[in-house]
Structure formats: C-alpha cells, structure tokens
Chains A and B, each alone.
Chain A
Amino acid sequence: MPMKKILKYGLLVVIVALLGYNSVYIKKLSDVNASKGAQFNAAGFAAQLWNEKLPAKSDSAVAISVLKGAIDDDAGAAFDKYTNALAIGNYRYALVKGIAVIDAITADDLKITIQSAAPFKATVAMEFIYGNALRDASGLVNLQEFPNTSDLNSISEELNKIVRQKIIPAARPMLKPGAKIEFTGAVELNKEHIHFDDVEIIPISIKPVS
C-alpha cells in the first residue's frame, strides 16, 4: 500500500476515533438511575397537583357555554376573567365544564355537541394529548417557582400522561355515540383568532350522565 494511502486512512481512523471518544460515554446503569433521583420529580409534582389541588379547581371551572357567550360579548374581559397563561402571547387557557352529547367516536377524539341555549360542536382529545393546556389552565403552577423551563415542561408532560394513561382508558368503555356526558377539561384559545366552534378539550374527567 503506498505511503499516501496509509497516511490518508490513518488520518481517517484517528478522526473517527477522536469523534467517537468525544461522542459517547459509558457508565453503570445503576449509578445513572441513582443520580436521577436527585432531579426534579415531575411525576410526583404532577400527581400531587392532580390529586390534591386540581379537584377543587375543576369544581370551579367555568361552563364552556358561559365562556363562549362571555367571549362573544366582550372577549378582553372574558379572557381576563376566565383564562390563565404562563407565557406571554396570544394563547390563553381555561378550565371548562359542560354537558354534551356524543356525535361520533373516532380513534383520535370524541366529536360532541355541547348542550346549551345555542348548542355548538367541540372535540374531546382521546389519543394525542399534547401541550400545556392542562398545566396553564389550572393556574396552579407558578412560573417563578421553577428555575428552568425544562421542569415546567415536564409538569405538562406528566399531566398529559395522567390523562392518557388513566382518564381516557377508564372513560372509553363507557362512551357511546348518542350518549350524554358530563365533562371537565382544559381548552386553549388564541386571543387573536378565536375559533370556538370545534374547540378541542383536553379532558380531566368524562362521565356518562343519564
């Protein structure tokens, strides 16, 4: 093999080895798991929030038809009175409740018609539970108490997980098209582009009512 090729491939091996050395590290899995214990316990925080603080807040949630009416009358005042947000921007979040009839059940959501003087359509998310709606609508998380956004985001992640793993599986067998349900949940609304029809509700509780 000519010298030039040996140098070329040698250099390549050195570069790959250097990159590899600086790319991965190996530790004992037990040590890594132990060190994780000292980190912010988002799951514990979310569970405590869900079990101890959220029920009271849910009881005082605004009826979704009242919120819609208030926004139709005076959006600014309605957003101030009924909604919360941790961040600046147009997105506001509200805890809502209501009674609705199930129009259809899809793999991803429930299509419902809210019962009110002027019934309107909405959607209850059943599969893809994302975002900060639950955390922010609750108004129970104070931005100042967290040193970083990662911890804040992990609270949303854990709250959404509770909905996915506990609330929806428990509710799903009881739901049928045409059935009447009572629900509490969180909604995200854009102050600048208010589209209340077919608003998506992240459920906190769904119960059939007779």
Chain B
Amino acid sequence: MAAIHYKQRIKSLQSLIALLLLCIVLTILTDKFFTADNGLNVLRQTAVNICIATGMTLVVLTAGIDLSVGSVLALCGAIAAGLLKNGIALQATDTYIGFTILGVILVAIIVGAVLGWFNGFVITKFNVPPFVATLAMLTIARGFTMLYTKGQPISNLGAKFAFIGAGSFLGIPVPVWIALAVVLIAAFITRQTRLGRYIYAIGGNETAARFSGINISAVKMIVYALAGAMAAIGGIIVTSRLDSAQPNAGSSYELDAIAAVVIGGTSLSGGRGTIWGTVMGAIIIGVLNNGLVLLNVSPFWQQVVKGAVILLAVIIDKLDKKD
C-alpha cells in the first residue's frame, strides 16, 4: 500500500522532476543558463504558451482538443491593435469612438470567448468532432485576421500598451503576472468549483456524466469559451511584446500548447490532469527551447528534440494507463 502511494506521489511530481533534471543538465552544459536574467527571460517567453495551454488543458480534460487557439490569438491581437490604433470612425456623424487599453483588452477577450463558444456550439449541437470543428475555426479565424489587417501588420501601439508585453512589475515581467493570474483562475475553476468537477466528470466518462444530469453541452461550450478567452489574453501579450499585430502571429502555437498539456501529464483521452502540470509542461518546453539556443543547437534539431520529448511524454502517459 505504501509502495503504491509512493509511486503515485512520484507520478504526480514527474513533470517537476523532469524540469529539475533538465535545469541541472543545462546548468552543467552552459554557464549562461542558470542566471536570474535568463530565468526571467524563459518565463517571459513561456507566459504566452502558459495562457494558451491553460485553456487547452480545460478542453483536453473534457476529452476535446482546440486547434484554433493560434488563429484566435492572432485575430484577437489584431482586433485589439486595430481598435487601439484606429478606433472606430463614423464619418456620417463626425464621431470617433476611441478605445482605452482596458477597452481593447476587454473586446479581445470577449471576441476570443465568443469564437471559443462557437467551437463548443458546433461540437455539441452538431456532434462535430472537436478536431474538425476547431480545425475549421483555425482557418476561419486566420482568414478574418487577414481580412481585418489586410494582410499587413498593425504597428505603433504606444508605450503604455507595450508595457503589457515588455514591462516588469516588482522585477517580474508583466506577462508572467498575467500568466499567473490565468493559471490561478483555471486552477480555482478545476479544483474549487462545480464546473471543474463537471469538466473532469465529462472527460472521465461522458455517458456517465450525462446520466448524472450534467449539462454536457453547456459545460463544453463554457470550456471552449474559456480556452478562446485565454488564447485572446495570449494574443494581447504577443501583440504588446511586438508592438505590432502580425497577421501570421500564433501560427502553430496550438502545437506548443498541446505539447505543454501532454508533457504536463494531462491525458489526451480526458478526465486526468492538472493545471499545474501544464504549467510545468510549458516551462519544460520553454527551458528546452532556451537551453538548445544557448547550446547553439540548430533550429532544425530543436524541432526534432521537441517532438521527441512530446512523443516520450505520450508514451509515458500510455504506460501509466497500463499500470
């Protein structure tokens, strides 16, 4: 009994152990790795993936997947940038509706949530597989981004907006604070609310959850809306950091998010995993990227290594299930 308990304890800490081992190896291999500046740099770069991956975790816990987060990120970032820079001009009434930074953040999050909700709506009401529905949204949102930006970057968003992505508060980069807030909210939802229990129940056994009286459609729509909103937050950070909304921003970000979720120990078949595991997964990917750059490893090899790590995480997950 004690041995089983010990094994479960190790399993729950496997992401953290992997991260620590990775840090030790990189510290030995390069003296540039274990510095405060580099640590903050890794966290700043990881913050966007943490935001997206946190939303993705909620989706994956319901046994779903959201491939549209990268495109939703781009669209929301573009809308935020466009409204902040150009507002809405009503020529007929000689009226200009301007947006404050708070305003564009709210609009972006609402747009992200609506797009996510639409994903959930299509998946639940028309019984479309999440892979297909969100793949369609990936293309739709990217198309709208191109239409909205006319294929051009929207730049020069001002120093105040740039503070969101490039500023620091109490010595910690602002994106890290934002990611922390997102993680705390998601952790609260999964651990302390009825919605969180429903999410795990649906992922564990959807049929049983339905017979228990859980409104599957409503829960899934909320979950996808949350994932969209979190992608939008990622979009605001990216846009702010670059001082520019790029129409091709966020391409393949969904893959990094899924990787963080898987490496963090969340089961792709749903019902099992934690937000903190995903945070660890995202940091492992961030540290891996950073370490490989510091070691002057070719970007092409970096992709191979990242892919191998994801594969390893999935295999470990499968072996865990067999146990």
Spell out A's residues near B (CB within 8 Å). 19, 22-32, 127-128, 130, 148-151, 153-154, 157, 160, 193
Contact = CB atoms under 8 A, between A and B. Distances in A.
Contacts of A154: 155-156
Contacts of A130: 152-153
Specify the main secondary structure of chain B where it touches its partner: mixed
B96 A29 contact: yes
B256 interface: no
Given A150-B156, A153-B243, A28 B94 contact: yes
Nearest to B156: A150
A22 B159 CA distance: 19
Interface in B89-116: 89-91, 94-100, 102-103, 106-107
A113 B203 CA distance: 55
Contacts of B97: 24-26
Interface string B140-175: 000000000001110111110000000000000000
B95 A29 contact: yes
10 contacts: A19-B106, A22-B102, A24-B103, A26-B95, A26-B97, A32-B89, A130-B152, A148-B159, A153-B155, A160-B152
Contacts of A24: 97-100, 103
A103 B252 CA distance: 31
A149 B94 contact: no
Contact of A29 (B91, B106, B159): B91
Interface residues of B, number: 26
Contacts of B15: none
Contacts of B157: 150
B98 A27 contact: yes
Contacts of A28: 94-96
Ranked 3 nearest A-B pairs via Cβ:
A23-B103, A150-B156, A29-B96
A150 B103 contact: no
A29 B90 contact: yes
A22 B103 contact: yes
Contacts of B151: 127-128
Contacts of A23: 99-100, 102-103, 106-107
A193 B102 CA distance: 41
Contacts of B95: 26-29
A19 B153 CA distance: 28
Most buried by B among A25, A30, A160: A25
B244 interface: yes
A29 B89 contact: yes
A22 B90 contact: no
A171 B159 CA distance: 39
A47 B306 CA distance: 46
Nearest to A157: B155
Nearest to B157: A150
B99 A32 contact: no
Contacts of B98: 24-27, 32
B96 A32 contact: yes
Contacts of B96: 26-29, 31-32
A30 B96 CA distance: 8
A157 B153 contact: yes
Given A153-B156, A153-B243, A157-B153, A30 B102 contact: no
B94 A25 contact: no
Nearest to B298: A193
A157 to B, nearest CB: 6
Given A25-B98, A25-B100, A153 B106 contact: no
B249 to A, nearest CB: 12
B280 to A, nearest CB: 31
A112 to B, nearest CB: 23
Contacts of A30: 94
A128 B151 CA distance: 8
Interface string B242-274: 011000000000000000000000000000000
A128 B243 CA distance: 19
A24 B94 CA distance: 16
Interface in B286-318: 299
Contacts of A153: 155-156, 243-244
B105 to A, nearest CB: 9
Nearest to A192: B296
Contacts of A151: 156
Given A22-B103, A153-B156, 5 more contacts: A23-B100, A27-B96, A31-B96, A32-B87, A151-B156
Contacts of A148: 159
Contacts of B155: 150, 153-154, 157
A82 to B, nearest CB: 25
B33 to A, nearest CB: 19
Contacts of B102: 19, 22-23
B212 to A, nearest CB: 27
A149 B153 CA distance: 15
A102 B89 CA distance: 44
